[in-house]
Chain A
Amino acid sequence: MSATADGRELLPAIGAQKRFTDADGIEWIVSERDARNVPGALGAQCLIFHSSEAVRRVWVYPASWRELLTPGLIALSWGR
């Protein structure tokens, strides 16, 4: 999930993404995105948590989020 059908990347990814599996066995992909052009943006970047069932946007997160283990990433995905 990074581009439209015509290949345009609306929210450019920043760095590498991470994957984890939650307690229900659902796999999530986490990516940091450039959000400067997003209406109502609460910051210049955000995290996008994407699974086969749902997507969460998180605005408040530590710069070291990639160092978090699965429990930390799960907790972060519930954040603001």
Chain B
Amino acid sequence: MSQSKSRDRRAPVLVVDDNTAECGDTVAVLAAAGFAAVPESEGDAALRHARTSLTLLLVSELYIPCAEGICIVAVLKGDRARLPRLRILVHTRHSNDADTEWALAAGCDAIVYKSSAPGTLVRELGRLEGFAA
């Protein structure tokens, strides 16, 4: 079942991370699981992309240039009129309590720490994919 699902085309995912290497790793992990992952390195471009393409799934780091990840989460989650089904997963290297608290207060639906196994990201995004559909 899971193997079959990984071969199928899954929901598009906007991946926002200014660390090129880590962004590439994330896109590769998601692509291997069947997601159509699109990378974006700057926050303002990510906001435009999410609004124009009516993104359903967004994966974002917390600290990125030109509109920080926390700002992206708060702005997009607050735009329920335009993006009622959007689900946001914060994928971050910042696992301290304060950053976790800020991400939750901004409205993210889930957080995955980059120190976790790659399968964790796919598992948790799969959970949100079910809600966004």
Contacts and interface: CB of A to CB of B under 8 A. Distances in A.
Interface of A: 1-5, 9-11, 33, 37-41, 48, 50, 52-57, 78, 80
A78 B117 contact: no
Contacts of A4: 97-98, 101-102
9 contacts: A2-B101, A4-B98, A5-B98, A38-B104, A52-B116, A53-B113, A53-B116, A54-B120, A55-B104
Given A41-B107, A53-B117, A54-B112, A80 B131 contact: yes
Which 9 A-B pairs have CB atoms at the shortest separation, nearest pair first?
A40-B77, A39-B78, A53-B116, A10-B105, A55-B111, A39-B107, A5-B98, A39-B77, A4-B98
Contact of B100 (A50, A53, A56): A50
B80 interface: yes
Interface residues of B, number: 32
A54 B131 contact: no
A57 B108 contact: yes
B130 to A, nearest CB: 8
B80 A11 contact: no
B127 A1 contact: no
A49 B124 CA distance: 12
Contacts of A78: 127
A80 to B, nearest CB: 5
B117 A57 contact: no
B29 interface: no
B112 A57 contact: no
A56 B12 CA distance: 21
Interface in B77-133: 77-80, 95-98, 100-113, 115-117, 120, 124, 127, 131
A45 B77 CA distance: 16
Contacts of A56: 109-110, 124, 127
A3 B101 contact: yes
Given A3-B97, A3-B98, A40-B80, A57 B120 contact: no
